[in-house]
Amino acid sequence: MLKISDLRVAVDGKTILNGLSLEVGTGEVHAIMGPNGSGKSTLANVVAGRDGYEVLGGTVEFKGKDLLDLDPEVRAHEGVFLAFQYPVEIPGVANIALLKEGLNAARRYRGEPELDALDFLKLVREKIKLVEMKEEFLYRSVNEGFSGGEKKRNEIFQMAMLEPSLSLLDETDSGLDIDALKIVAGGVNSLRSQDRSVILVTHYQRLLDYIVPDYVHVLAEGRIVQSGDKDLALKLEAEGYGWIEESAGAAA
């Protein structure tokens, strides 16, 4: 599904990702953990195609295509989705208008007919239940005046609507209380399937109690320094990131 090789990325002239390699197979859930400033969010944003990230070297292949060559909307049409760490408030653009536009653009891209109003609404009602959001949120401006938890749920709702083959969740657990966390995790789990892959970017192990990953990677100083299964996350939770940073420092 996704193959990142030796990726090096700078932001404002400062190298953030420094030779990162990662393979995510179809249907797999990977957790990327690491201390603040290790490059986790940069990785998620580069894959989604946000401006301001300078790729110095390396490749990102998605379903065999050179992802870095595609515009962000085309990446979305190809099946990449980023759940933002800080979802953006967009006054004047209704949630439902964004979804309809995004969903139908992807369908046109795939050569499928656009959903008519009735089918679209049916889909919306089905998916919004997954994240236990009220329907009134559909008609409100995107994220405007939403609480932190509502914003994160809205991200997962959008994800459920767009049915991406690769979902990147950037610190989706941050700022959530336990009930909201369970709802968000439930939404993600409902999308898990043989055809869909998920990358969870997180600082804490807590989320992984609810979304159990197949692989856990530790990112430090711009590259993956340790990979393992879910037990690695437990070790990080118990021992912190100190030992990782020491060993990464020693390796460099």
Partner 1 sequence: MSSVVENAAAYVAAQQDTAAQLPGYGLAELDAGRAAALEQLSRQGLPSQQDEDWKYTSTRSITRAAFKPASAGATCPSDFITQSVIEGLNPYRMVFVDGFLSAALSDLEALPTHVRLRSLAQVLSEDATSVLPKLGQMLGDPPHGFAAMNSAFVADGAVVEIEAHQHLERPIELLFVSGCGDEGLVSMPRTLVLMGEGSQATIIERHCSLKEVRSLNNSLVEIDLGKGAVLDYCSLQSQSDRSFHVGGLFAGLAESATLRATTVSTSGALVRNDARINLNGENSTVHLDGCYLVFGRSHVDNHTHISHNRADCVSRETYKGVLGDRGRAVFHGRIVVKQDAQKTDSEQSNQNLLLSEEAEIDTKPQLEIYADDVKCAHGATVGQLDDLALFYLVSRGVKRETARRMLTQAFAADVLDRVESVPLRQYLQSLAFDRLSNA
Residue among 183, 84, 207 nearest 128 (CA): 183
Q: Taking CB under 8 A as the rule, does residue 105 contact partner 1?
A: yes
Neighbours of 62 (CB within 10 A): 21
Binding mask 16-45 for partner 1 (x = CB under 8 A): ------------------------------
> What is the nearest approach in angstroms of partner 1 to the Cβ of residue 44?
11
Q: Taking CB under 8 A as the rule, does residue 81 contact partner 1?
A: yes
> What is the nearest approach in angstroms of partner 1 to the Cβ of residue 145?
15
Q: Which is nearer to partner 1, 13 or 92 (CB)?
A: 92
Residue among 89, 6, 32 nearest 220 (CA): 32
Binding mask 143-162 for partner 1 (x = CB under 8 A): ---------------x---x
Q: Taking CB under 8 A as the rule, does residue 233 contact partner 1?
A: no
Q: Which is nearer to partner 1, 1 or 99 (CB)?
A: 99
- For residues 203 and 38, the answer to whether their CB atoms sit within 8 Å is no
Contacts of 37 by beta carbon, 8 Å cutoff, 6+ apart: none
Exposure on the CB side of residue 46, measured as CA atoms within 13 A: 27
Q: Exactly one of 12, 64, 88, 242 binds partner 1 (CB under 8 A); which one? A: 88
| Alpha-carbon distance values, 128 to 22, 23, 200 (Å) | 32, 31, 21
d(CA 43, CA 145): 28
Q: Name the CA dihedral angle for 173, 177, 180, 184, rounded to a multiple of 10 degrees.
A: 10
Q: Segment near partner 1 (CB under 8 A), from 46-54, 173-181, 198-206, 218-226?
A: 46-54
Total residues interacting with partner 1, rule: CB under 8 A: 32
Determine the 3-state secondary structure of 146 from DSSP. Answer: coil
Q: Which is nearer to partner 1, 84 or 241 (CB)?
A: 84
**Which residues sit at the interface with partner 1, rule CB under 8 A?**
48-51, 71-73, 75-77, 81-82, 84, 87-88, 90-93, 97-99, 101-103, 105-106, 109, 141-142, 158, 162
